[in-house]
Structure 1
């Protein structure tokens, strides 16, 4: 009996020693920087074999997309982010000079569908893999250390980005009495106001005729109703739309800075996705401003003013990244960041951007593509065109990610 009790105590002491030893190893690993951990991994023989195999399999020639991106973005991440902001802000606004003032935003559905494919493709093929796994290095194997709390914070940042746009859209709908920030709301308002004026005029005419039929009545004819221009609700909607555009452009600027500090490929693909979205977005907002009472020149000037928001967001993102707000730099401890993780505030900009892209590509735009009319044949043809445009936009992003 004594020997069995002694054996149990010996086993208990051995288990305690193993637990303490494992805890000390975990603590020592937590004290290491990410750069130190990578260096230790490189000394492992299997990692060296994987690196040699990947280096042999790597293509020495750069892909076409990589060469184009190298020409468009030749500088540092900060310079490239500013260039990208210029690309997404300048050309779409200059294209407004070619747009007629009576353009119908609902006619842009194919272009909007193409933009949806680009945004969702960039989010699913570039941003989310980069957020959770990082960008692969050419000719080198990469290992990812799983931090459960780190992934939770990244998911939380995606949710915050999504809900930020929900709050913006909800606030705009409350302020405008139910009209949201999309590409067709201005046209709907115009039709509602026109129908209201038309019904008022018709009622007046019919009332005049009925009163003339009454014998002995001396009722004066009503004064003609004149269309005095956009209603106050439309004018308010136009002004609030400018505020929403300015805020939306700030998030676009944050996306530019966060993506280029992640990697050149992610930055270039994000720039392309935002650019594809900005063209129908700017045209739709231009049509809304004209319908709200702006002249063509004033509407174009207002759109250029809102573009300042994109540069403001880019500068804010660059300042956060350059001030050491990212945990991607060497010397960062695994537990020295936010809430005991390796993340810093700058690392949350990219998932925040992914959340905003998910909202814009789904909630803000998909309902517009779901609108249908009574002509089934025409709607089927329109739906086929929209799905083709979405597939084309997503396919471009998939090609860039696959070929990068």
Structure 2
């Protein structure tokens, strides 16, 4: 029962990150853009640190030596590559025009994109949150430490993505309050995602299911950080040295957080 409490409580907290779009209602586009890229940098550090300091070493401990862990990590990378292609997640990652739309400067573009963009974005977000809920529940099945690390890494990634998602919905023509509501409802998909894994584990060998999903989760973190987030940091917005230093500091902060959790877990 404790696993259920920890997992469902954590995924509900993760779902609340869908309300991060409300930040855009009080910030101007320039300030928001600066904040967004710092959050992306922190997410890169948290996801890389979570995968390389926690999930992959834990996977080797549980699966032993040999290629199995590496193959499962690669399976996670490939699975997210295919999923991203299928759902066209590229619409959700920090487009400057989406940020402008979220702050009320691009309403004239919304009608040209219309419902298809909003629908695709919502479908992609629901699928994304289902997977988030599943990987968080699977991590808690391994250990409390792994679950906490996974939850924090997922949240770090979700905050900037949800700001971008909110911008996409407004850019597509939705009013800000309706966009925030739809984003929150899509975020609640973390709960059935977690329940699915918990129920499957209850009917089969739960420990084996959790163990095999752990390196797949690590692979997904490596893919998202390397394929989606780091390229965002290397776009034209990141050329000034001061911004690069700030992003590096935030990446190190994310890695440092995961290192501290590692020390506390072994303390």
Structure 1 and Structure 2 fold alike (TM over 0.5) = yes
Q: Secondary structure at the match of 1:80?
A: helix
Which has the larger Rg?
Answer: 1
* Counterpart Cα distance in 1 of 2:48 and 2:24: 27
Of 34, 37, 40, which residue of structure 2 is paired with 1:112?
40
Tell me whether 1:159 sits opposite 2:64 in the alignment. Answer: no
Give how far 1:101 is off: 7.7
* Counterpart Cα distance in 2 of 1:268 and 1:117: 16
1:106/1:187 contact within 8 Å kept: no
Tell me whether 1:359 sits opposite 2:239 in the alignment. Answer: no
Give how far 1:160 is off: 2.3
- Seen in structure 2, the aligned counterparts of structure 1 residues 102 and 264 have a Cα distance that, compared at 3 Å, is closer
Q: Give a deviation string over 1:288-311, Cα, whole Å, max 9, x none.
A: 111111111111111112113211
Give how far 1:384 is off: 0.4
Q: How does 1:368-387 map to 2 (within 5 A)?
A: 368-372=232-236, 379-387=240-248
Of 67, 81, 84, which residue of structure 2 is paired with 1:169?
84
TM-score by length of 1: 0.58
* Counterpart Cα distance in 1 of 2:227 and 2:125: 17
TM-score by length of 2: 0.86
Tell me whether 1:100 sits opposite 2:25 in the alignment. Answer: yes
Q: Give a deviation string over 1:117-137, Cα, whole Å, max 9, x none.
A: 111111111111111114xxx
- Gaps of at least 5 residues in structure 2 are none
* Counterpart Cα distance in 2 of 1:172 and 1:94: 22
- Gaps of at least 5 residues in structure 1 are 1-74, 135-143, 196-226, 329-343
Give how far 1:396 is off: 0.6
Tell me what 1:182 maps to.
93
* Counterpart Cα distance in 1 of 2:49 and 2:132: 16
Tell me whether 1:79 sits opposite 2:5 in the alignment. Answer: yes
* Counterpart Cα distance in 1 of 2:2 and 2:126: 26
- Seen in structure 2, the aligned counterparts of structure 1 residues 123 and 393 have a Cα distance that, compared at 3 Å, is same
CA RMSD after TM alignment = 2.7
Tell me whether 1:277 sits opposite 2:157 in the alignment. Answer: yes
Give how far 1:353 is off: 1.3
Tell me what 2:213 maps to.
349
Q: Secondary structure at the match of 1:294?
A: coil
Question: Which structure has the highest helix share of the two?
Answer: 2
Give how far 1:87 is off: 1.3
* Counterpart Cα distance in 2 of 1:145 and 1:387: 34
Of 321, 325, 331, which residue of structure 1 is paired with 2:205?
325
Q: Secondary structure at the match of 2:236?
A: coil
Larger relative contact order (Cα-Cα within 8 Å, sequence gap ≥ 6)? 2
* Counterpart Cα distance in 2 of 1:97 and 1:117: 24
- Seen in structure 2, the aligned counterparts of structure 1 residues 367 and 95 have a Cα distance that, compared at 3 Å, is closer
- Seen in structure 2, the aligned counterparts of structure 1 residues 228 and 364 have a Cα distance that, compared at 3 Å, is closer
- Seen in structure 2, the aligned counterparts of structure 1 residues 171 and 189 have a Cα distance that, compared at 3 Å, is farther
Tell me whether 1:262 sits opposite 2:262 in the alignment. Answer: no
* Counterpart Cα distance in 2 of 1:395 and 1:145: 27
